[in-house]
Structure 1
């Protein structure tokens, strides 16, 4: 049986006590290995610097599993120097683990309701991919309307005025993960 989420005294009988239980987890949360793999699968490994964001135009300088080197296209900036020879998969995974700390912190800070591990992992992937302008989805989670969250993911499918099919698939996959615990990251 799950640990008690809370206890409360009812107003109908002052001598009664109700214990509320849930299988959802309470804080602090940490992304699971399945969650890390889910993010890595969506980001796809790139051994060398790239700046194509997938929406048809130039993006930000990136390497590995979506590690942001700097904003804007490849320019020869000093921040690119450590990556000129590229990275191995192991190095890229280490960068990913470091990069997931901020999204984990954001979700832990902004979410105030219990979550299943897979719900948390879906939110971490979402925040990793969309660092800003994610408050509406996180606020919906906090409202306790867990059933509405998968559809809300689909409101975040636009990039640079276009609706890239890869982004639509990723949001659908995040919604499925949040709803069903299905870690399917197939493109």
Structure 2
């Protein structure tokens, strides 16, 4: 089911200022940061364009299912944890989908900040890295798992970072959907284009 049918487009709005922010992220929009100035990741949050692309990529599922790697998943690609008290086949409502998405985005945003450290980013670069962390998890972009990505970040080599955004395997197999998602992630990072490559 599409996100619009479920009302998830109402979720996407201006970023909410967190109490610990020194500068309000509410004053930043995709246009403000797109190609004019790179900002510290601490000042960036998921853009509306990214949230829409994420919903398109992950889909929205009310019933807990097993993803391509066999993990129990629900909502917008939320990996079920023991604390969720959910099993395969359980159903959740829209409010819970939104709450899980909000929580997962906050965790992924923190993950990007940890990954990039002091590297400044355009909004679209942040969004592409956010998609990567949301999709594969922070552990898979660690120094031990993704040394070239981490080296590119340390070197502040944005083209080399873009070259390391491809993750196409699930459960040891190439997944066509992940190939498309990697292509989309790269075009977000390099060109600020959030379009779905499947539709081009």
Q: Same fold (TM over 0.5)?
A: yes
> How far apart are the structure 2 equivalents of 1:80 and 1:160?
22
Which range moves more in the overlay, 113-122 or 26-35?
26-35
Pair 1:68–1:177, CA change in 2 (3 A): same
Which residue of the other structure, out of 18, 23, 34, is the alignment partner of 2:37? 23
Q: Which residue of 1 aligns with 2:55?
A: 40
Q: State the 1:164 CA deviation.
A: 0.8
Which residue does the alignment assign to 2:157? 145
Deviation at 1:91, TM superposition (A): 3.5
The structure in which a higher percent of residues are strand is: 1
Q: Which runs of structure 2 are paired with 1:41-120 in the superposition (5 Å)?
A: 41-53=56-68, 59-70=70-81, 79-80=85-86, 84-88=90-94, 90-111=95-116, 112-120=118-126
| 2:127 counterpart of 1:121 | yes
For residue 50 of structure 1, report the CA deviation from its aligned partner: 0.6
Deviation >3 Å, runs of 4+: none
Give 1 or 2 for the bigger CA radius of gyration: 1
Structure 1, unpaired ranges of 5+: 1-21, 72-76
TM-score (norm 2): 0.69
The 8 Å contact of residues 41 and 119 in structure 2, kept in 1 or not, is answered as no
Rounded to whole Å, the distance in 1 between the matches of 2:59 and 2:75 is 8
CA distance in structure 2 between the partners assigned to 1:124 and 1:30 by the alignment = 9
Number of residues of Structure 1 aligned to a counterpart in Structure 2: 154
Name the SS of the counterpart of 1:114 in structure 2: coil
Greater fraction helix: 2
Measured on the aligned residues, the alpha-carbon RMSD in Å equals 2.3
